Structure 1
Amino acid sequence: MKGHVAKKGNKYYIVIDLERDEITGKRKQKWLSGYEKKRDANKALPIILADLMKGNYVEPTKKTFRELMLNYLEDKKTSVKHGTWKSYEWLVKTHIIPNVGNIQAIKLKPQHLHDLYHKILFPKLSVSSIKKVHVIIHDALNRAVVWGLVTHNVSQYVDLPQGQKTKFLVWNEQQLQIFLDAAKDDQYFEAFELAASTGMRQSEILALSRTDIDLKRKVASVRQAYTLSEDGGHSIQDTKTESSVRPIALFPHTVELLEKLFEKHENQKTNNKLYKDSGLVIQTSVGTPVGPRNLMRNYYKILDRIQKENPEFPRIRFQDLRHTHATLLLKAGIHPKIVQERLGHSSITVTIDTYSHVLPNLQEAVLNNMGDSITGSSRSEIQKDDNPTLFE
């Protein structure tokens, strides 16, 4: 197989001589992409010939990166949950396409992605969000390689920006009690109690079924999550990951509250003809599922009331109740492995990394409880032992 460089118009092309046509006897030629400079075409020629000989050559696509990403989004619709897909769509259409969408997919370089992450997105997004952008681009380019649209995945050569972890606020024991006292008469008080006492995610609380609560054993089994559906409504689906499926031991006080709540549900079913029991722990006065917006509206109303009397009271997000739960457990000396299991983290590393700011204080407390030395002995006991036993 042979080839040469030819000029056509203002550009240079690589011309590959293929096998002769069996009917006409004429030799076929394949013209490959236009190069601005002759030296670039000459440099690419032997590489392309070698790939053709090995069967590894991928004909360059004329698609822009915008087209590639939109095709990727369309394919992802059927392989991820709708809520996840909406987050993909937002990142692609808001941050990826406007900045690198006009570049031809085959001409996308690591430098383009480096500038996107470090210069364009870093001032706007958190490091964790930039990592999500990178994961999406990496996945899309991997697929493009499989589809034969690009020769290799350039995102693998790009380093991500490093920055401070996303900070979150938590309440101490007294502050949490102030909030729970203020929320006790709220329609969705049990949702706030579950967030604080179990560390469950909002989506898990809103999808928790009464059948998944074992009041005798004092255990809640997390199996499903509340998610958005394509029609703008909601759906109850399996949890996102296997580690999210987990049993959570309940405090006796939480069990008492749930017992009263279930009795309330039975009374509502009996006395309200409009009641349609969804079977969920947290539901409206007519038995239907509670949407995240309604729950948040009530949550922030409670905070508004507290801060009206005490402007210095910390205003934390609903998801920070989960962080509060984990932090209070760790401060109480509960092993991080137990905290990991309650939160549904994929590994204990995630738990330790997320709450590393709490651990130094825990180390000090542990050392204080052990004594003056690693053996647990006090200084006076060590000094009395003048003839320690030696092991060889």
Structure 2
Amino acid sequence: MASENKRKVRRDGSIVRIGDRKFRLRAYRGTTANGKRVYFTQVFKGTAEDAQKRLQEILRDISNGITPTKVLPDPVTTPVSVLLGETLDRWLKHKSANRKARTRTIANYEWLLSTYVKPALGSKAIAEVSESDVQELYNDLIRRGIGAKTIRNLHKVLDPAFTRAIGWKLLSENPCKHVELPVWDRKEARYLTPEQTQAFLAAARQDKWYIAFLIAVETGARPNEYLALRWNDVNFDERSVRICRSLYWPPGGGFEFTKPKTQRSVRTKTISRQAIEALRQHRRVQLEQRMQMRDYPDCDLIFATEIGTPLSWRNLGRRHLKPLLTASGIPEDGFSMYSLRHTHASLRIINGDNLRVVAEDMGTSVAMIDITYSHVPRSLQTSAAERLAGLLYGT
């Protein structure tokens, strides 16, 4: 028994054929607080080559600290009398099985469809759903007071679902194609001015989670990105942090680490010497606290509760951010943890940084930067004109 316990772990995973085009994949994930080994196991249907590719995906996710997801087979649905609700369920499984969207994105899609579409049209045969049905659905949501942004988000889900159904030969034309959407007046993103940012960080120095706010402002990362940071993501010598995963809270409870929002969201950010020193100090305090804890789940998180679990960004905003804003003399209305991401972008733009560089650093697109922060460049027009004049005329 002793020799068995000392057996080396296969960190390259294993594949066992259990039937015709059927394989069992197994990968080592780590150990529990009690030292028990934890494995990820999945039954995979396909060729041996595809099984090997799938195993490599699983190992890559585990290496990046991401919880692997089990690929579900796309069920075969007969086109006879197929209901819209059944087709939407099939589409969601298709998106999940092909890893075309994150777990939290699928959950959001499912909520939108279950809340707004299925009660009205779910029991109707998909081949009978017309453009007027979809338009009336949207009009009814407007009458019920549902916001334009929500309806437009719903349309972004329903439209590709119908397009996929055309590929499945369930209907010949997309009923979403010509519907009219309500106008959405995008609200200006809330952010701190340079003076407010200095006042806020000065007040935050006395807060337990000062380092979280500092990293948020310096990196411009999304809250669930920097709250998923682990100590091995920090390079103290190069003064950088690597953002490669996101924290997800499933509706049923617990937490998972998933891939970031988009492929461009995986990035490395250089931070200041002050932030590096603050991280060193935070690590010393954290290690001292861990030594006093008997059972501490070692997730290696930089930002963790006293019992080692991840922080909730909503709790962080409600219990720490808003009181700090009030202490800094800044109105808290409309501010959230995402406002620190907006602050980072706004400060970069005010500083005259190139929009493409800002977008790459924040893991987003230039178009999104331009739309979200269109109010900031307007305030720079005068200084930009003065810099141009200096280049042209030496003034």
Question: Cα gap change, 1:102/1:365 in structure 2, threshold over 3 Å: closer, same or farther?
Answer: same
Residue 149 of structure 1 corresponds to: 170
Q: Within 5 Å, which residues of 2 pair with 1:1-392? A: 61-78=80-97, 79=99, 80-117=101-138, 120-121=141-142, 124-229=145-250, 231-299=252-320, 302-304=321-323, 306-307=325-326, 310=329, 312=331, 314-345=333-364, 347-371=365-389, 375-378=392-395
Change (3 A) 1:125 1:166: farther
Change (3 A) 1:239 1:173: same
> Following TM superposition, by how much is the alpha carbon of 1:333 offset from its aligned partner in structure 2, in angstroms?
1.4
Q: How far does the alpha carbon of each residue in 1:251-276 deviate from its partner, in whole angstroms, 9 at most, with x for none?
A: 22211211211222333344443333
| 1:148 partner SS | coil
Kindly name which structure, 1 or 2, has the bigger radius of gyration based on alpha carbons.
1
CA distance in 1, matches of 2:147, 2:110: 18
Partner of 2:17: none
Aligned amino acid, residue 318 of structure 1: M
Contact 2:314/2:337 (<8 A) preserved: no
Q: CA 1:158–1:315 in 2, change beyond 3 Å: closer, same or farther?
A: closer
* More deviation, 130-139/359-368: 130-139
CA-CA distance at 1:200 after TM superposition: 0.6
Query: Match of 2:275, SS?
Result: helix
How big is each residue's C-alpha offset from its partner over 1:339-361, in whole Å with a ceiling of 9 and x where there is no partner?
1122100x322212221111122
Q: Using the alignment, how far apart are the partners of 2:389 and 2:144 within structure 1?
A: 48
Shift of 1:77: 4.6
**Alpha-carbon distance in 2 for matches of 1:358, 1:136:** 31
Name the aligned partner's letter for residue 212 of structure 1.
D
Name the CA distance, whole Å, in 2 between partners of 1:122 and 1:318: 32
Query: CA–CA distance in 2 between the matches of 1:369 and 1:109?
Result: 56
Task: Judge which range, 179-188 or 317-326, deviates more.
Answer: 179-188
Structure 1 residues 274 and 187: alpha-carbon distance in aligned structure 2, compared to 1, 3 A threshold = farther
* Cα displacement string for residues 93-152 of structure 1 (whole angstroms, at most 9, x for unaligned residues): 111223333443222122222333355348744544333212221222123223322223
1:368 shift after superposition: 1.3
Q: Secondary structure at the match of 1:157?
A: coil
SS of the aligned residue for 2:176 comes to helix
Partners of 1:324 and 1:309 lie apart in 2 by: 15
Distance across 2 between alignment mates of 1:228 and 1:368? 48
Residues 208 and 306 of structure 1: is their aligned pair in 2 closer, same or farther, counting only changes over 3 Å? closer
Distance 2:187 2:139 in 1: 17
- Secondary structure at the aligned position of 1:281 is classed as coil
Q: How many angstroms apart in 2 are the aligned matches of 1:336 and 1:342?
A: 10
Provide closer, same or farther for how the CA distance between residues 60 and 219 of structure 1 changes in structure 2, counting only shifts above 3 A. closer
Letter in 1 for 2:257: I
* Preserved CA contact (<8 Å) 1:277 1:286: no
- Superposed displacement of residue 74, structure 1: 4.6
Alignment check: 8 A CA contact 1:219 1:248 kept:
yes
Give the 3 Å change call, closer, same or farther, for CA 328–278 of structure 1 in structure 2.
same
Moved more, 249-258 or 290-299: 290-299
Q: CA deviation at 1:189?
A: 2.3
Q: CA deviation at 1:160?
A: 3.4
- How far the C-alpha of 1:87 sits from its partner, in A, is 0.8
> TM-score scaled to structure 1, two decimals?
0.72
> What is the rounded CA distance, in whole Å, between the counterparts of 1:123 and 1:356 in structure 2?
31
Cα 1:167–1:114, aligned 2, differ >3 Å: closer, same or farther? farther
Tell me if the contact between 2:239 and 2:272 (Cα under 8 Å) persists in the aligned partners: yes
Mark the CA change 1:279 to 1:313 in structure 2 (over 3 Å): closer, same or farther.
closer
> Structure 2 CA distance, aligned partners of 1:99 and 1:117?
11
Letter in 2 for 1:84: T
The 3-state SS of whatever aligns with 2:294 is coil
Q: 1:312 to 1:239 in 2, by over 3 A?
A: closer
Which residue type is aligned with residue 336 of structure 2? R
The higher relative CO (CA closer than 8 Å, separation ≥ 6) is in: 2
Structure 1: segments with no counterpart, 5+ residues: 1-58, 379-392
Counterpart of 2:344 in structure 1: which amino acid?
Answer: H
CA distance in 1, matches of 2:124, 2:393: 65
User: Paired residue for 2:11?
Assistant: none
Instruction: Give the whole-Å Cα distance in 2 for the aligned partners of 1:246 and 1:122.
Output: 43
**Structure 2, gaps ≥5 residues long:** 1-77
Q: CA deviation at 1:319?
A: 0.8
CA separation of 1:325 and 1:311: change in aligned 2, threshold 3 A: closer
Q: How much has 1:308 moved relative to structure 2?
A: 7.4
Change in Cα spacing, 1:221 to 1:306, as seen in structure 2 (3 Å) is closer
CA RMSD between the two structures: 2.8
Residue 92 of structure 1: how far off its partner (Å): 0.6
Q: CA deviation at 1:364?
A: 1.8
